[in-house]
Structures are given as structure tokens and as C-alpha cells.
Amino acid sequence: MSASTKAVRLAVVAAIAMVGLVATYTHVAAQPKEKVIKIVAKRFDYTPGNFTLKKGEPVILELTSADVLMGFNLPDFNLRADIVPDKVTRVRFVPDKSGTFTFLCDIFCGTKHEEMNGKLTVVD
Amino acid sequence: MNDINRREFLKLAGLGGVGVVFSSALPGVARAADADEFYFLQLSDTHWGFEGPPNPDAKGTLRKAVASVNQLSYKPDFIVFTGDLTHTTDNPVERRRRMAEFREIVSELKVKNIRYMPGEHDASLDNGKAFKEFFGPTNYTFDHKGVHFIVLDNVSDPRATIGDEQLAWLAADLKRQRNDAPIVVFTHRPLFDLMPQWDWATRDGAKAIELLMPYQNVTVFYGHIHQEHHHMTAHIAHHAAKGLMFPLPAPGSQPNRTPLPWDPAEPYKGLGYRGVDAELKEAQYKLTEYPVVTKV
């Protein structure tokens, strides 16, 4: 193989690779970015304590604890997670029904544990 | 208690403001060869140490209940406290002080055969350590006049689980029982999903119910929800008792599970304790709900 033929082949391979990269990038960019809801738990509340989501729209709940081990329980969607201090807990969630729903801490965390809850509103 | 004595007892109790409000079949008691008639009391959710508007007589209610029990015409064989003896505190010293005071107050009960178990307020912040120091193990069994009693701990784990170890213990205990043995379970939280939105559930309670299901004659008595409530999971009856500090709303009846307000026109309304009368002749447990203050 001559040097010029080699150079042409390399150029073709590079071009194909570039097309592939762009195609991959385009593919990623075409995916709708999932909404991220950051929720901070501390004794004895959640911030935010109320939030609204759209029915059928996937979200990522990013749960963190500012102090002790907590729970996040959304019984109406059969969704729960431990919130471990110094760790981000991510839960993907697609609300499939509308209404207002209670979420609560289900790991007994102290004197006002029973008041530690919040509301999720899901709209159509 | 024979029929005449029971009728006489209920009449006397009725004069004291007591009402028989529910009776449920407890099949199996009559079948136990060594069974005898008996009667026990369930007291629950005394929350000693609580202070606040839902009970302006927070320091007096338990003492009044003890006096009321001591006035009963019929002495129960035993008394069981189904958890939340004390109101929770983050301070371990204060927790022990409350437990010591509770123990001192109930030492005034004339009946000395008393069974204790913890609620999450007693045990969830230290895995039951202080409770055990004062009241002994958090799960155990005992037999009384042909009935097998099982005390299940679903609170020492702050996640509200019974846990695999205790479930294995339960399975091993049940294997030793006849399928038609009369079995009574005492626990604090409901074993079924009564209202998970209010934390009125046990995360692995279904596993305990599954283990109990093959047994024909099982009845569960529990606390936690501060009100009378009756529920069936197949043939297993679950009876919640009133509390002795503040009543809570009916499941889902209001947005949050905040205590019902104190009614000055009817003090101690919604509070009380329960008598359970094991009737061999009728093969039934009769439940009698008592108010805190006995009218004389």
C-alpha cells in the first residue's frame, strides 16, 4: 500500500468515526432530559415540603439527609428509599396518577418524627 | 367467668360507665383440652412524659386509669401493656426517668401479673435498650390456660420491621403449635397496612401474617393508633385498643394524623382500656371497652 492510499483510508476511517460520534451525540441530545427534584431531609422536615409533578413525566428524586438516617416513603406509588447521611440517593419515578399524596419519613428519627411528612401534587 | 357471673359483672361495670361495644368470635379456645375461662386487660399507649393541649391532665390520666382498673369488680388474670408506655425523648437519661416513673405508677395496680412490650416511642431510638433494662425482653411467648400468647416486637428497629431473625423465631415457635391451637398475638404496630401514609403499618408485617395464616385460631391485639379498630386478614382478627394519653383520628379522616383535641365538655373522651373475656362455653372473646374514669 502506498503512503497516499494509506492516508486516504485513514481519512475515511476518521470520517466514519466522526459521523458516528456526531450520531451518538445527536442521539443523546434527542433524549428529553429528566427533571431532577432535590429533596433535603433533616429532623423533622423535608425541603421542599411540597412539590408538584406532571403525570407521566419521569423525574429523578435526589434525596439527601442533613443529619441522621431518614426514610422517604410515598406509599401511594409504592416508592420508598433510605436517605443515608453523606450520600445522595437517586430514585427514578414516573407518576402515573394525579392528585395530592403524602410522603413521610418511615424511619423513627426523634421526638417530632411523626410530624415529618410532605405533600406531592401530580397534575395532568 | 360463668354466664351469671359475667352478666353480673357487666351490669356492675355498666353502672361504672363501661360499655360492651364489640364481641368477636375467638374459635379454638373451647377446643383446648386444658383451657379454662379467663379474663385479661389490654392497656396501651400511655405515653408517660407527654405534655400538651391534647391532654391537660397528662400527669393524672395514667393514675386515674390505674385507679379505674383497681376498682373493677372482677380481677383480670393478667394485664398487658401494648407499647408506647412512655412518650419519646431524644435524651436517654430522660427516657429512663420516664420509664422509672411509669413503672412506679403501674406498681399501684393490684394485679401483679403484668406483661409489657415496647412501642416505637419506647424503643426505636435505642433499639429497645432502655426498655429491656426496665421491662425485660421485647419479644417472648407465654401460655395461659390453654391459650398460646406471642409478643412480637415491630418497633425496636426504627424502620418498623420485625426482622428476619425474629420471624425465624416466630416460625420455630409456631411449628410447635397445633393447627387448631388458640393463639393470641400482642404487638404494637398493626401487622397489616392499615394506613401507611400515617406510618400505621409494619414493613414486613405481611411475613408474620403469612406465618400465622395456617393456624385456624389466631387473634391479634395491638396499639399504636390510639383508637378502637377491628380488621380481618382472612380468618385472623386484628383489634386495636384506645390509648391512655390522647386519641388519634380515624384512618384518613383528616389530612394529618394529629391528635384529636381535648374536649372540656367530655374530658378523657376517646381514651380507655379494654377487657378481653375468654368465653369457653361460647368459644368467644368478648371485648369490653372501659373509659379512663369510672363513674361511681
Domain spans, chain A = 1-31, 35-123
Q: What element of type H or E holds A5?
A: helix A3-30
- CA-based nearest distance B224→chain A, Å: 12
Asked if the C-beta of A102 comes within 8 angstroms of chain B's C-beta atoms, the answer is yes
Cα Rg of chain B, angstroms? 18
Examine the pLDDT at B18 and tell me if it is beyond 60: no
Banded model confidence at residue B13, pLDDT cuts 50, 70, 90: very low
* A113/B88 touch (CB, cutoff 8 Å), yes or no: yes
pLDDT tens sequence for chain A (124 residues)? 455 555 556 555 554 444 444 343 444 445 568 899 999 999 999 999 999 999 999 999 999 999 999 999 999 999 999 999 999 999 999 999 999 999 999 999 999 999 999 999 999 9
Considering CB atoms only, which of A71, A108, A117 is closest to B120?
A108
Contacts of B193 in chain A (CB under 8 A): 75
- DSSP notation for chain B: --HHHHHHHHHHHHHTT-EEEEEEE-TTGGG-TT---EEEEEE----BT--STT-TTTTTHHHHHHHHHHH-SS--SEEEEES--B---S-HHHHHHHHHHHHHHHTT-S---EEEE--HHHHTTTTTHHHHHHH--SSEEEEETTEEEEE---SSSTT----HHHHHHHHHHHHTS-TT-EEEEE-SS-SS-SBGGGTBS-TTHHHHHHHHTT-SEEEEEE-SSSS-EEEEETTEEEEE--BSS---PPTTSSSS-PPPPP-TTSTTTTB-EEEEEEETTTTEEEEEEE-SSPP-
pLDDT of residue B37: 79
**Strongest mean pLDDT among A53-67, B8-22, B279-293:** A53-67
Q: What are phi and psi of B57, to 5 degrees?
A: -110, 45
pLDDT, average across residues B164-189:
96
User: pLDDT, tens digit, for every residue of B206-240?
Assistant: 999 999 999 999 999 999 999 999 999 999 999 99
Asked if the C-beta of A117 comes within 8 angstroms of chain B's C-beta atoms, the answer is yes
pLDDT of residue B11: 38
Banded model confidence at residue B286, pLDDT cuts 50, 70, 90: confident
Examine the pLDDT at B23 and tell me if it is beyond 90: no
Contacts of B224 in chain A (CB under 8 A): none
Question: pLDDT averaged over chain B?
Answer: 88
Using DSSP, state whether A6 is helix, strand or coil.
helix
Percent of chain B at pLDDT > 70 equals 85
pLDDT, average across residues B65-84:
95
Measured CA to CA in angstroms, residue A119 lies from A54, A114, B68 at distances of 14, 15, 42
Long-range pairs of B250-255 with CB within 8 A, sequence gap ≥ 24: B251/B194, B251/B195, B251/B198, B251/B200, B251/B225, B252/B195, B252/B197, B252/B198
Banded model confidence at residue B74, pLDDT cuts 50, 70, 90: confident
* Domain parsing of chain B, residue ranges: 3-290
- Spatial strand order of the sheet with A50-54 comes to A50-54, A117-123, A99-104, A70-74, A79-83
pLDDT of residue A32: 65
Cβ-Cβ contacts under 8 Å between A and B: the total is 40
At the fourth CATH level, the homologous superfamily of domain B3-290 is Metallo-dependent phosphatases (3.60.21.10)
Question: Greater confidence, B7 or B101?
Answer: B101
Instruction: Specify whether domain A35-123 bears CATH 3.90.1650.10.
Output: no
ipTM (interface pTM)? 0.84
Selected for mutation to probe chain B from A114, A117, A119 (highest B CB count within 10 Å) is A114
Q: What element of type H or E holds A13?
A: helix A3-30
* A107/B159 touch (CB, cutoff 8 Å), yes or no: yes
